[in-house]
Amino acid sequence: MQQLSKKEVVKEIVKCGKDSSYFINNYARISHPLKGLIPFKTYLYQDDLLIDFNDYRFNVILKARQLGISTITAAYIVWLMLFYRDTNVLVIATKFQTAANLVKKVKSIMQNVPPWLRIAEIKIDNRTSFVLTNGSEVKAASTTGDAGRSEALSLLVIDEAAHVEGLEDLWTGLYPTLSTGGRCIALSTPNGVGNWFHKTYIEAEQGVNDFHPSILPWDIHPERDQDWFEKETRNMSRRQIAQELECSFNASGETVIHSEDLERMVFGIRDPIYRTGFDRNLWLWEQYDPEASYLMTADVARGDGQDFSVFHIVKLETMEVIGEYRGKPNLEEFASVLDSTGREFGNCLLVVENNSLGISILEKLQDRQYPNLYFSIKGTHEYIDQLRAESISNSIPGFTTSSKTRPLIIAKMEEFIRNKLITIYSSRLVDEFKTFIWNNNKAEAMRSYHDDLVMALAIGCWVRDTALTVNQRDMEYKKAMVGAMKINNTTLSTTIPGMIGHRQGALSDDALNQTQNYEQFVWLIKG
């Protein structure tokens, strides 16, 4: 640039102070890995962001990688610090080093502004912060502890916000520091659903919070085309593509259920035809069909008020989840709704998780003489029917979820969903699946979310594919054997001819008992 007169310098400073885009495009220089120090020439989408930074106090940016969003944010910070006295900027990120690197970008741009435009100089220079002579300051901070909580901030920048653990709690502490007019820029690639960044962005789109949303997928960059995309994604997984380039929340997360299956579930959501029960939390998509068979599986809340008591009604012939309860009743209320619903659906098999307060619910159901409770052999988890359980000393009511059975039932549920063997209509259940993730190789709800409905369904899938299937097969064997004896008028006797008790031409007592058992449990064969 040619030598400017004092009048021209003043005019140029005023122009830069009024227009951040003008300042950045004319006087900001950035480091290029191959070309060294080069002028910063913004793209249209970067200019749009600068407008948003000025027009909105809070901005949330869902972006693909390598779009220069951190760099344009750094340049904006330089402009803010130079032209506004006492500007206090805090940068946090998923890693402290990431935040420090953004501060380093700010310092580099600041140091390479033309000398006549440096209306404030760096007074205090530390590795992760610096202060200007006009009182403006920028610093990087860790996401742990009390970072920034005692300060009044002009601008809070949260880089890679979707990847910052515990950001919900951190935001609660930092939000008051912006109360005097401070601004916030939260930017990130997606990282599944349910985290602070996902919730904030979705709510911003819905207009229910103070944030202004911006989405910047890979193809917003004018120099990227399909050839670039194919080359870039050649060695990337589907999840990596969704996270790094496509700005897809659902496909980017570590959800237990695959994103494609989640999307299919979303399309299958229906409003229930009935919202009933004492608290209107029992949702039904079908009325009872006397020709069908049903299974109910229940998960009882721990009693601390943090989770829900739930149950599902599964139509066994089609494996449709046609009923669902989710609420916070007391023990007596929950036992009552389980008892009445089970009886309404043909005295269907009722499986209650017997962990914690589940035992109390099972005791209440036995007091109410519910006729068809799930029992198992202690230690083996082998299913036995209620009638046999009364004569077996080591039988226990309900299903035990343990470190041994939990991964088995979750794997079985995932198998049912993956193979399209189960139909789900509930929005409440689908929402839980969206936040049901792998955490250190353990499948569980994301922090601050619930998996009560998910786990109740997992128990149902396991019981359907193991206990009921095995029992059905055993019953069919007995049915065939007894049927053959009836047709052929076969004599069955365990005694030797001539012994006391030998009866020629009649069924043995054991065979008769088998016939009676078959007739008594014919409902189970339907399953």
Same domain? For 201 and 326 the reply is no
**What mean pLDDT value characterizes the chain?**
85
Say whether both 473 and 461 belong to one domain: no
- Looking at the domain assignment, is residue 152 inside a domain? yes
With respect to residue 354, please indicate whether it lies within any of the assigned structural domains: yes
pLDDT over threshold 60, residue 22: yes
Residues 504 and 425 in one domain: no
Q: What percentage of the chain exceeds 70 in pLDDT?
A: 85
Write down the pLDDT at residue 471. 52
Domain that holds residue 102: 43-253
Angstrom distance (rounded) from CA 142 to CA 164 = 10
Residue bearing tokens 């205090």:
124
Please report whether residue 23 resides in a domain.
no
Q: Is the pLDDT of residue 486 over 60?
A: no
With respect to residue 24, please indicate whether it lies within any of the assigned structural domains. no
Q: Based on the domain organization, do 353 and 483 belong to the same domain?
A: no
Q: Does 109 share its domain with 246?
A: yes
What pLDDT score does 108 carry?
A: 93
Cα dihedral: 57, 243, 101, 108 (round 10) = -70
Both tokens of residue 290? 């006397």
Output the domain CATH number for residue 309. Answer: 3.30.420.240
Is residue 16 a contact partner of residue 117, using CB atoms and an 8 Å limit?
A: yes
pLDDT in tens, 327-379: 999 999 999 999 999 999 999 999 999 988 999 999 999 999 999 999 988 77
Give the domain-ending residue among 225, 253, 281: 253
Q: What does DSSP assign to residue 84?
A: S
Task: Locate all alpha helices (DSSP H) within 283-352, ordered by sequence.
Answer: 331-344
Is residue 80 a contact partner of residue 52, using CB atoms and an 8 Å limit? no
pLDDT tens track for 423-475: 999 999 999 998 898 876 788 888 778 999 999 999 999 999 887 765 554 44
Tokens matching residue 5? 């007169």
In a domain, 147, yes or no: yes
The predicted pLDDT at position 59 comes to 97
Domain assignment present for residue 49? The answer is yes
* Domain assignment of residue 304, yes or no: yes
Residue 37 has which token pair? 């120090």
Query: Per mean pLDDT, which range of 16-20, 135-139, 374-378, 482-486 is the poorest?
Result: 482-486
Whether the per-residue pLDDT at 180 is higher than 60: the answer is yes
Same domain (yes/no): 275, 336? yes
Q: State mean pLDDT over 78-95.
A: 94
Q: What is the structure's pLDDT at 158?
A: 96
Instruction: Give, in order, the Cα–Cα distances in Å from 3 to each of 7, 8, 155.
Output: 12, 9, 35
pLDDT for position 524: 42
Q: 74: domain CATH number?
A: 3.40.50.300
Q: Of the candidates 205, 226, 253, which is a domain's last residue?
A: 253
pLDDT surpassing 60 at residue 509: no
474 in the same domain as 451: no
Q: How many domains does the chain have?
A: 3
Check if the beta carbon of residue 47 is closer than 8 Å to that of residue 23: no
Q: Is the pTM of this model over 0.75?
A: no
518: left (phi over 0), alpha (psi -120 to 50) or beta: alpha
Kindly report, residue by residue over 257-270, the tens digit of the pLDDT.
Answer: 887 888 899 999 99
Q: Is residue 228 part of a domain?
A: yes
**Can you list the pairs that 508-515 forms with residues at least 24 positions away whose Cβ atoms lie under 8 Å?**
511/482, 511/485, 514/478, 514/481, 514/482, 515/482
Confidence (pLDDT) at 496: 36
Pair 473, 406 in one domain: no
The last residue of one of the domains, among 253, 279, 297, is 253
pLDDT digits (tens, 9 = 90+) for 199-255: 999 999 999 999 999 999 999 999 999 999 999 888 877 777 888 888 887 666 678
Q: Is there a single domain that holds both residue 153 and residue 242?
A: yes
3-class SS string, 360-408: HHHHHHHHCCCCCECEEECCCCEEECHHHHCCCCCEEECECCCCCHHHH
The answer to whether residue 525 scores a pLDDT higher than 80 is: no
Residue in the block written with tokens 């979310």: 449
Same domain, 269 and 249: no
At residue 489, the pLDDT reads: 45
* Per-residue pLDDT at 501 exceeds 50: no
Asked whether residue 382 falls in the same domain as residue 341, the answer is yes
For residues 323 and 420, state if they share a domain: yes
